[in-house]
Amino acid sequence: MIHDDFTELTLPANWRLEHYAHIGSTNDLAKQRARDGIPDGLVIVADQQISGRGRMGRSWEMPAGTGLPVSILLRPIWLQPADAYLLTMLAAVSLCLATEQVASVQALLKWPNDLLLRDSDGVLRKAAGILTELEARDGAINWAVIGIGLNIAWQPVGIVDGRDLAQMATSLASASGVFVSRRDVLRALLEALATGIDALRAGNQSALFDSWRARLATISQTVTVRLPDRSISGIAEGVTAMGALQVRDAQGLLHIITAGDVEA
Ligand code: BTN
């Protein structure tokens, strides 16, 4: 297990960090802190999550100390609830910048926001996922929790939720061949997030959208999108201005997909 000293971490101005050896879910604790009125900029990081949660109601598992489960509590009162998707886009682009900076890999994204890294066999596999949760009140975002789970030194194996992890998942160490400390990745990630938040706050949304779209490996692929009640297959032609995926099926029909799981 890796024991990083997060006390040495330089945080963006006014941000605070709580580090736990064991936790249920960093997102759950961050949401609790949000409801308790804790201000913007709280970072919660753990060595091990007992009940980490993923998108679409799935669980999120990483062996103790081999990954970076982290949640960031923000109070982006400057953002309209309808634009909250920008927070997850920002987290995804920040993850790409941070992993590229610390491990010299090329980072791409699988729609909507999975971090993809290329293993030595040439296959792109998922190395991180993002779960953003928020509360909007009176037409404004009261709080948002950005939860990120990054595999750092874990070679995923086993079947989880019916999916073979060895085939679909990887880690930063596996894809880059170098070992990086969780502290270095977290520092780079928080720096990228804070810089991106300043840019968003200043109204510069288009630069973020452009970098997110440029990293989407999903575009132009033949995909099957699993929705709760059905699947849609076709060519991923592009994304809308709000980040929805545009898939054209064999009948020529264009589907606009706002949430789902993509298989290439
Ligand atoms: C996904 O399904 O791809 C999203 C996974 C998000 C996992 C992270 S780990 C830190 C934070 N706490 C949680 O319980 N989930 C997120």
Q: Which residues neighbour 158 within 8 Å (Cβ) at sequence distance 6 or greater?
A: 165, 166
Q: Return the bridge partners of 17, or none.
A: 43
Whether 27 contacts 131, CB under 8 Å:
yes
Q: Which residues neighbour 45 within 8 Å (Cβ) at sequence distance 6 or greater?
A: 6, 17, 18, 19, 20, 26, 68, 69, 70, 182, 186
For residue 162, the CA-to-ligand 1 centroid distance in Å is 18
> In 3-state terms, what secondary structure has residue 173?
helix
Q: Give the separation between CA 177 and CA 132, rounded to whole angstroms.
A: 30
Sign, CA torsion 99/208/83/13: positive
Q: Between the ranges 23-32, 49-58, 158-167, where is the mean pLDDT highest?
A: 23-32
pTM: 0.95
Closest ligand 1 atom to 70 CA: 10
Q: Over the chain, what is the mean pLDDT?
A: 94
**Residue 82 CA: distances (Å) to CA of 86, 135, 141:** 9, 12, 9
**Greater confidence, 165 or 40?**
40
Which residue has the least CA distance to atom 15 on ligand 1? 53
pLDDT for 157? 80
Sign, CA torsion 209/212/214/216: negative
In the structure encoding, which two tokens stand for residue 93, read together?
């682009």
Report the relative pairing of strands 254-257 and 261-263 from DSSP bridges: unpaired
Q: What is the mean pLDDT of residues 19-44?
A: 97
Of 60, 61, 62, 189, the residue with max ligand 1 atoms within 8 A of its CB, to mutate for a pocket test, comes to 60
pLDDT for 3? 54
Q: What is the mean pLDDT of residues 31-57?
A: 96
- Which tens digit of pLDDT belongs to each residue from 118-153? 999 999 999 999 999 999 999 999 999 999 999 999
Ligand 1 lined by 54 (C-beta under 6 Å): yes
Look at residue 2 and tell me whether its pLDDT is greater than 70: no
For residue 33, the CA-to-ligand 1 centroid distance in Å is 17
**Share above pLDDT 90 across residues of the chain, in percent, rounded to a whole number:** 86
Helices (H) and strands (E) in the chain, counts: 6, 14
Q: What is the mean pLDDT of residues 154-178?
A: 86
The Cα angle at residue 197 between residues 69 and 114, in degrees rounded to 5: 40
Of 20, 28, 53, 189, the residue with max ligand 1 atoms within 8 A of its CB, to mutate for a pocket test, comes to 53
Burial zone of 30 (CB within 10 Å; 0-12 exposed, 13-18 middle, 19+ buried):
buried
